[in-house]
Chain A
Amino acid sequence: MPTRAAPAPAREVRTRVAVRSLDAFFAEVHAIKNVSLAFEDRSVTAIIGPSGCGKSTFLRCLNRMHETIPGARVSGSVELDGTDIYAKRSNPIRVRQHIGMVFQRPSPFPTMSVRDNVAAGLRILSKRPARKETDAIVERALRRAALWDEVADRLDSSALGLSGGQQQRLCIARALATEPGVLLLDEPTASLDPLSTQRVEELLYELRKDMTVVIVTHNMQQAARVSDTTAFFLSGELVESAPTRVMFTTPADPRTEAYITGRFG
């Protein structure tokens, strides 16, 4: 296992996703209040904050999943590589193909085999890969999700036969198969045991080498372990965002300090 202490050496910093004055609502509830935040390419950003602070809602705004809830709406802009995903001409389905997402509970499709689960995102592409190519993509995605060795001999059996940790990595593989540039993870290890959690965290370390990862987590140790940058949310507002090391040693805002030292939340 590679050492995790030092974030990757100095490199060209490029903003991948830029959020500008984002507001999100559930019917009458103002869940996200004027948040601006940028996510760099090849980095892991952790979003922390107490329950109900809007972390997950914020994450779901980044791939237009928020609006799938009846009555929910969003204002402001989220730019992916310079293009606003909330622009009039933008298609939410395209957006979600370029920004992958993994949820808290593993959610493999129960009627599909392991292989079909991973390939699920490929089947809706305008250029559907051929059978052979699909197999290669499935293998690559499973390898990236560090699951290949465990499932190589049961690609055609039901995805429900896998353990919870394996199912979650399968969901990560499913999200990776279409090669999204950004991966959003909503408390991906909340329902996993410590060993599975560790595997997923190692995985994030690898993924960071070529994509932008945003992870919502309740676990501050996890945020400290896996992320380059940490953003702290409180009651729908972004309190502070800083390099993780700075955030956990010398937070600028007293509320951040109170939270990370465990005085509330």
Chain B
Amino acid sequence: MSATAAQAPQSARPPRPSQRQRAFADRTRGRVRRRRVANTAMTVVLGVAAIVATLPLIFILWHLVREGATALSLDFFTQMPKPVGEAGGGLANAIVGTLILIGIAMAIGLPVGVGAGLYLAEYRRSPLATAVRFLSDVLNGLPSIVMGIFAWQFLVRPVGHFSAVAGGVALAAMMIPMVTRTTEEMVRIVPVALREAALALGYARWRTSITVVLRTATAGIVTGALVAIARIAGETAPLLFTAFGNQFWSVRVNEPIAALPLQIFNYAVSPYDEWHALAWAGALVLIILVFLISLAARFATRARFGGMGD
């Protein structure tokens, strides 16, 4: 990053280099060597950092497969939890519960998030947009347990009991700022030329937003939504005092519902080996779920780059 190294003298024989030239050549050779060493060292350091960055995931996966794979069977997906001491049993209720919670969160979070993002992009400079943008960034950084407390305060306490809806709302509140910001970004990168082309055809502004801008940005928004879903799928804290968990089969949204992260937590802190095994298996299933969603997000992203041209 310092002086130019361009003029390294080629060790030309005739005429004989003068004293000064030789000294210069020595200095330059020294510098080149130093740079080469620094270069190699930095490459190694950064490479190690890159490996360390992914190490936790590799370690976790390896550990989960080792501990959880044995408990993973068809029963795990189809059977209810068994009492302590009985062999077998599964987490069917928790798997279904997690899917229901994600469903509720999506039903609330996607329309609100996409709508808010579209607003932010279309009315970029309005005072409301500026405020909403700032607040959603704050919301994005809010600890998830706070979301749980909020949902408990407004949806559990007044009703008097835990419910899947309260859990879904807490998850939606986490999801909304993420979806809002990705939607805004994706809508913003739609070329102005497309907007103008639609307006020039006689499209009203709202119609331009929906049929041209939003449609062009759809693949990117889907990617953002999937990433947000992957993030909330494994959340435990917002569910602790909202969805609460349930040892029994329940698909009713106004009652406590089981969820994979909660079940993993409960089993992991229990003293029983069978439950520990189930917790490992549950964690493995959760990570596979998140992995699949991320994979889908990747495909959606690719579709976007295929679709946008340029």
Binding site for B on A (CB under 8 A): 63, 65, 68, 70, 93-94, 96-97, 100-101, 103, 105, 107, 109-111, 120-121, 124, 158, 160, 171, 174-175, 178
Contact = CB atoms under 8 A, between A and B. Distances in A.
Nearest to B309: A160
A110 B308 CA distance: 6
Contacts of B201: 96-97, 100, 120-121, 124, 174-175, 178
A109 to B, nearest CB: 6
The 5 A-B pairs of least Cβ separation, nearest first, read A97-B202, A101-B200, A107-B197, A107-B193, A96-B202
B202 A171 contact: no
Interface in B184-200: 191, 193-194, 196-200
Interface stretch (B10-18, B23-31, B167-175, B210-218): B210-218
A93 B216 contact: no
Interface of B: 125, 191, 193-194, 196-204, 207, 212, 215-216, 218, 307-309
Contact of A110 (B199, B203, B307): B307
Nearest to B200: A101
B262 to A, nearest CB: 41
B307 A124 contact: no
A105 B202 contact: no
Contact of B216 (A68, A109, A174): A109
B225 to A, nearest CB: 17
Contacts of A110: 194, 216, 307-309
Contacts of B125: 70
A216 to B, nearest CB: 14
Contact of A96 (B191, B193, B200): B200
B202 A94 contact: yes
Q: DSSP majority for the B interface?
A: helix
B193 A105 contact: yes
Contacts of A63: 200
Contacts of B199: 65, 68, 96
28 contacts: A65-B200, A70-B125, A96-B202, A97-B201, A100-B201, A101-B200, A103-B196, A105-B193, A107-B191, A107-B193, A107-B196, A107-B197, A109-B198, A110-B194, A110-B308, A110-B309, A111-B215, A111-B216, A111-B218, A111-B307, A121-B202, A124-B207, A160-B307, A171-B197, A174-B197, A174-B201, A175-B201, A178-B201
Contacts of B204: 93, 124
Contacts, number: 64
Nearest to B217: A111
Contacts of B212: 109
A171 B201 CA distance: 10
Given A110-B309, A111-B215, A111-B307, A68 B203 contact: no
Given A65-B200, A97-B202, A107-B194, 15 more contacts: A63-B200, A70-B125, A93-B202, A93-B203, A96-B202, A107-B196, A109-B212, A109-B215, A111-B216, A111-B307, A124-B203, A160-B307, A160-B309, A174-B201, A175-B200
Nearest to A108: B197
A157 B154 CA distance: 51
Contacts of A101: 200
A118 B89 CA distance: 60
Contacts of A121: 201-202
Given A124-B207, A160-B309, A109 B197 contact: yes
Q: Specify which of B197, B198, B201 lies most central, judged by the most chain A CB atoms within 10 Å of its CB.
A: B201
A186 to B, nearest CB: 10
A114 to B, nearest CB: 14
Nearest to B124: A70
A103 B192 CA distance: 11
B216 A100 contact: no
Nearest to B214: A111
